[in-house]
Amino acid sequence: MGKAYTSDERSDIRVRIMEAALELYHESGAKTLNIREIAAKAGISLGGFYNFWPDKDSLVLDVMKYRASQKLDRIRPQIPGSEKDPVGFLSSLICSWCADMKNKLDTKPLYREGMDFLQSSPPDKSSRFLSLYADFLEDLRDHWIKENAIESMDITGVTGVVVSVSILLSNSEKIDSSCFEDLIRTFASAGLKQYIKAKEH
């Protein structure tokens, strides 16, 4: 029988495990992550690991979600003021993310490996990762509506734009670098305009 943890203990241990996995992931990549090594680095038993995740793939997806959450938390302070140009704001975020990720995909094999892993994950698992972006988009939508900047925003449609951009990104090596950023900006802006209905003033 697994040890009973308090809510705070569980939260602390989950973070320790994900931080340990992140460190090992940056050292060796997802394919060589070893649960025994992760558990040892986090200071728990191998059996204790399975109180939190059923397998390594589930952990890797949650680590990616955890890392994305940290990045989104750094963006949230920029939300006030974004109502001046909702589509431009979100389009710029997508383009900045793509430019940063393309550089990492081109220079660090483990990021290509991580992108391939996410693309190949079953829909029910990868949707848990994408739900993080839906939460962020809902916060944006609520702010923009409150500030009278938009009439509506289709979260599913906007998430679809983000997914489509990530597919383009995963194939970035097939696209000429000189036009990649313009292509992403054009694609993202056109897609977002379909799903974000601006307020007519």
Do 68 and 123 have their domain in common? yes
DSSP character at residue 31? G
170 and 92 within one domain? yes
Residue 30 has pLDDT above 70, yes or no: no
Are 74 and 151 found together in one domain? Answer: yes
pLDDT of residue 76: 94
Question: Of 10, 30, 53, at which residue does a domain stop?
Answer: 53
Which domain range does residue 19 map to? Answer: 1-53
Is the pLDDT reported for residue 190 higher than 50?
yes
Q: Are residues 30 and 62 in the same domain?
A: no
pTM over 0.85: no
Which CATH number covers residue 96?
A: 1.10.357.10
Widest distance between CA atoms in the chain = 62
pLDDT in tens, 146-188: 999 999 999 999 999 988 888 888 888 888 888 888 999 999 9
67 with 92, same domain? yes
Residue pair 39/45 in contact (Cβ under 8 Å)? The answer is yes
What does the pLDDT look like over 101-156, one tens digit per residue?
Answer: 888 777 776 677 777 777 777 666 666 667 778 889 999 999 999 999 999 999 99
Q: Are residues 65 and 47 in the same domain?
A: no
Query: Do 37 and 78 fall into the same domain?
Result: no
Neighbour tally for 6: CB within 10 Å: 8
Of 29, 53, 77, the domain-final residue: 53
User: What per-residue confidence (pLDDT) applies to 3?
Assistant: 58
Domain shared by 13 and 66, yes or no: no
123 in the same domain as 24: no
The radius of gyration of the chain from alpha carbons, rounded to an integer in Å, stands at 19
The domain boundary, picked from 19, 34, 53, lies at 53
* One domain for residues 85 and 144: yes
Contact 79, 146 (CB under 8 A): no
156 lies in the same domain as 192: yes
Does residue 196 carry a pLDDT above 80?
A: yes
Give tens-digit pLDDT for 43-96: 998 888 998 998 888 888 888 888 888 889 999 999 999 999 999 999 999 999
Does residue 1 have a pLDDT over 50?
no
Distance of CA 2 to the CA centre of its chain: 31
Same domain, 64 and 120: yes
Residue 102, Cβ neighbours under 10 Å: how many?
20
pLDDT, position 201: 59
Question: Higher-confidence residue: 193 or 175?
Answer: 193
Structural domains counted in the chain: 2
Region 21-35: what's the mean pLDDT? 80
